[in-house]
Amino acid sequence: MEFKLRKWNETDLESLIKYADNPNIAKWLTNRFPHPYTREDGKAYLAMIANDNPTRVFAIEVNGEAVGSIGIVLQSDIHEKNAEIGYWLAEEFWGHGIASKAVREITKYGFQTFDIVRMFARPFSTNEKSQRILENAGFSLEAKLKKAIFKNGEFIDELIYAKFRFEE
């Protein structure tokens, strides 16, 4: 399935709300990603990322519609050569290889655009699909933090996957 990464814009608000308001997406993300996902949440998100330069958060577009998001969070202080990636994709587009390709694309972009040497992601240990996405994009498991996540009333192990610039 074809997709492209592009900058978010205000006209994406309706599709953002449509696809982000899904408990099957929210359950795999930090609590900063709300559920239900409201119009106000969507407006706040688009306003927060509107002035990024260079762009750090991209819409995942399929058939002219924003159906997910992927971004880079630059780290600071002693971690300044690192960046975390985060992503979500509308449930109806799962299983088509879009997320793995989007992770590969954002990783390449991150290494070319920012002065970083390591990119990492922190999926829940219970999210096997996200682990496969990262592995398919060339990331390797570095660590397992036992019971580091408390989500929906339960403790979950957190995994750390990483990829280095020299592995590109």
Q: What is the 3-state secondary structure (H, E, C) of the chain?
A: CCCEEEECCHHHHHHHHHHHCCHHHHCCCCCCCCCCCCHHHHHHHHHHHCCCCCCCEEEEEECCEEEEEEEEEECCHHHCCEEEEEEEECHHHCCCCHHHHHHHHHHHHHHHHCCCCEEEECCECCCHHHHHHHHHCCCEEEEEEEEEEEECCEEEEEEEEEEEHHHC
pLDDT reading at 82 higher than 70? yes
Mean pLDDT of 119-123: 98
> Which residues constitute the domain of residue 13?
4-167
Question: pTM above 0.85?
Answer: yes
pLDDT reading at 167 higher than 90? no
Q: Tell me the C-alpha distance between 69 and 20, whole Å.
A: 9
Q: What is the mean pLDDT of the chain?
A: 96
State how many domains the chain has. Answer: 1
pLDDT reading at 168 higher than 80? no
CATH assignment of the domain containing 52: 3.40.630.30
